[in-house]
Amino acid sequence: MSAAAQARGTSSWWKGHAAFLLMVGVWLAWTAGLRPLTAPDEGRYAGVARAMLESGDWLVPRLNGLPFFHKPPLFYWLGAGAMQVFGVHEWAARLPSVLGAWLAAASLYTLLRRHGDLRLARWATLALCTSPFFFVGAQFANLDMLVAGCITATIACAADALLCLDEERPWRIALALAFASAGLGLLAKGLIGVVLPGGVIVLWALLTRRTRVALRMAVWWPGWLLMALVAGPWFVAMQLRYPEFFDYFVITQHFRRFAASGFNNEHPFWFYAPVVLGLCLPWTPWLLLWWRKAAPAPSRGAQGLPLLMLVWMGVVVVFFSLPRSKLVGYVLPALPPLAALVALGLERALAGSPRRAKVLGATGTLAALLCVGGVAAAGHYGTPPDARLQLPAGESVRPGDRVVMLDHYFYELPFYWQLPGPVTVASDWRPAVAQASDNWRKELADAGAFEPVTQAAWLQGIDAQPARICAPGRTWVIGPSNAQLVAPWVLGMQLVTFNTEIAVWRHDGRAGEGPDCLTGHGAPGALPAWSGAS
């Protein structure tokens, strides 16, 4: 073959793969902006990303102006960058999750194509990207899909390197990519970005008797240096700036949260089995055929792939089943190997079948419809009351206005109202109250502990607000519709808007008003107490 013909073949080969992965990206992204942010996670993480963009401080993630170290900054960096390029709206806020999903799909596709075959790679990618669990997760603005993408890339690249090293083929680029992906995983969600891929690869190497090869990879010092260069600078900078950072981020958010009770969303050990199998319909029934049908002759390098997928899925599910606190999105890294096993089941069941195209088309179409239905359901049931709260025509929060959130922090409102800075959160901030539950109050109190001066500026008592509201300037108060039960002084303010759960009041302070300007009035903005407000 001439050099020109070889070049044309290589170009066509790359174009074919690039076109397929481009279609995958378009499919994952096209509905990402069609629904409001869901409370509380999407409002929280999109709000932190927007605050990073507005403040210009791209180093310290901040929740309402306070250092927020529940998670590392990669999601916020990507989200803030997307908002800077595309504008502040839901699609940009969810772009980091879309990118994480695309990275997971592309990594799985590449691994199966290199060590299986093209048909297996495409079937697995199709099953993954049309699983309702994966598709909706790709359009949910929190950290789970982003770290799932990093974990998938780390495992795929490490497995590629191990197989290539075992076969005496070039392996260093794949291993470097694995370490770099692990560094991104650290920046996405912390230690699980390294622990989970490491556990999967080590167990797989032991079961396939590749321990010596895995050990050679593990001691490859350029990879560790690369991972340190990717993730290390931010962690070092935070520790130097905040001496309490290591204890809070590593000890509390990783080990105490993993082992202790008292956090939200406690579920039994078996919780993830029905979640994964049910939310990945209609593809999961093909797993049964994978077990029942005889396996065809393995493709080049594919002998260990089924075992890798079983180990991968098992390690992820068991790891996240151990702690009492469980969220659905935690187990997203188990979906790529599940999709690969589904594709193997399809290959075994439909090998040589004339109905193969029809069966795949029908299953894929049903799956796609369920994906779109899942997005619609998330938009209907997940939209919080504050995302639906709009100021009347002619009303707006102007620069210099003071905003008070009363006995609650409404995560979505700064995003939707484009508030220029932090707001005052008026509540009971005594430690016994603030640390009693794993909720918005504890998040803000924990964040404020890193900067006590900033904490005093934005976290204040309810009783201190009337005197500040009576000072010159405009103040907006946002609170539950029955806020007069904890703050009777809101009845002296003008009611601007409300729905069944939230109300907004305004007071235009004038020079010469006394600190008791809100007392002794009638109740022009009073609402009847609503028993359903929280």
The percentage of residues in the chain with a pLDDT greater than 90, rounded to a whole number, is 47
Q: Rounded CA gap, 363 and 368, in Å?
A: 9
Q: What is the mean pLDDT of residues 186-215?
A: 91
Residue-wise pLDDT tens digits, 465-523: 988 888 888 999 999 988 888 888 888 888 998 888 889 999 988 876 777 787 754 33
Phi and psi for 409 in degrees, rounded to 5?
-110, 115
CB count within 10 Å of CB 444 equals: 23
Q: Give, as one character, the DSSP assignment of residue 391.
A: P
Residue-wise pLDDT tens digits, 435-468: 888 788 999 999 999 999 999 999 999 988 988 8
Q: Are 205 and 211 in contact (CB under 8 A)?
A: yes
Residue 243 neighbours by CB under 8 Å, 6+ apart? none
Q: Are 503 and 454 in contact (CB under 8 A)?
A: no
Q: Decide if pLDDT at 533 tops 70.
A: no
Q: Are 404 and 426 in contact (CB under 8 A)?
A: yes
Q: Is 520 left (phi over 0), alpha (psi -120 to 50) or beta?
A: left
Which candidate, 386, 379, 389, 440, places its Cα nearest to that of 412? 386
Length, in residues, of the chain: 534
Q: Rounded CA gap, 131 and 96, in Å?
A: 19
Structure tokens at 429: 């901030």
Residue-wise pLDDT tens digits, 72-84: 999 999 999 999 9
C-alpha torsion sign, points 451, 452, 456, 460? positive
Residue 382: its H or E element:
helix 356-382
Residue 16 neighbours by CB under 8 Å, 6+ apart? none
Q: Rounded CA gap, 87 and 35, in Å?
A: 16
Q: Rounded CA gap, 292 and 438, in Å?
A: 45
Which of 129-138, 167-176, 322-331 is predicted with the least confidence, judged by mean pLDDT? 322-331
Residue 503: its H or E element:
strand 502-509
The amino acid at residue 59 is L
| Cα angle: 5, vertex 8, 9; to 5 degrees | 85
Half-sphere exposure for 166 (CA within 13 Å, toward CB): 21
Domain boundaries of the chain, sorted by first residue:
99-247+268-382, 387-509
pLDDT band of residue 385 (cuts 50, 70, 90) is: confident
Residue-wise pLDDT tens digits, 82-122: 999 999 999 999 999 999 999 999 999 999 998 888 888 99
Q: Rounded CA gap, 135 and 129, in Å?
A: 6
Residue 199 neighbours by CB under 8 Å, 6+ apart? 315, 319
Looking at residue 340, its pLDDT comes to 93
Q: Is 499 left (phi over 0), alpha (psi -120 to 50) or beta?
A: beta
Q: What is the 3-state secondary structure (H, E, C) of 217-275?
A: HHCCHHHHHHHHHHHHHHHHHHHHHCCCHHHHHHHHHHHHHHHCCCCCCECCHHHHHHH
> Helices 335-350 & 118-129, crossing angle to 10 degrees?
130
pLDDT band of residue 9 (cuts 50, 70, 90) is: very low
pLDDT band of residue 293 (cuts 50, 70, 90) is: low
Structure tokens at 349: 């069941």
Q: Are 366 and 342 in contact (CB under 8 A)?
A: no
Q: Are 476 and 493 in contact (CB under 8 A)?
A: no
pLDDT band of residue 214 (cuts 50, 70, 90) is: confident
Q: Are 162 and 210 in contact (CB under 8 A)?
A: yes
pLDDT band of residue 289 (cuts 50, 70, 90) is: low
Please give the full DSSP string across 411-472, using - where no structure is assigned: TTHHHHTT-SS--EEES---HHHHTSSSSHHHHHHHHHTT-HHHHHHHEE-STTHHHHHTSS
Residue-wise pLDDT tens digits, 333-350: 999 999 999 988 887 777
Q: Are 380 and 36 in contact (CB under 8 A)?
A: no
Residue-wise pLDDT tens digits, 158-181: 999 999 888 888 889 999 999 999
Q: Are 157 and 185 in contact (CB under 8 A)?
A: no
Residue-wise pLDDT tens digits, 256-273: 665 555 455 677 777 888
What is residue 475's three-state secondary structure?
A: strand
pTM of the shown model? 0.89
Q: Identify the bridge partners of residue 424 per DSSP, sorted by sequence position.
A: 404
Looking at residue 492, its pLDDT comes to 86
The percentage of residues in the chain with a pLDDT greater than 70, rounded to a whole number, is 88
For the chain, the straight-line distance linking the first and the last C-alpha, in angstroms and rounded, comes to 74
Strands ordered across the beta sheet of 459-460: 459-460, 424-426, 402-406, 473-480, 502-509, 494-498
Arithmetic mean of pLDDT over the chain? 85
Looking at residue 532, its pLDDT comes to 33
pLDDT band of residue 186 (cuts 50, 70, 90) is: very high
Looking at residue 12, its pLDDT comes to 52
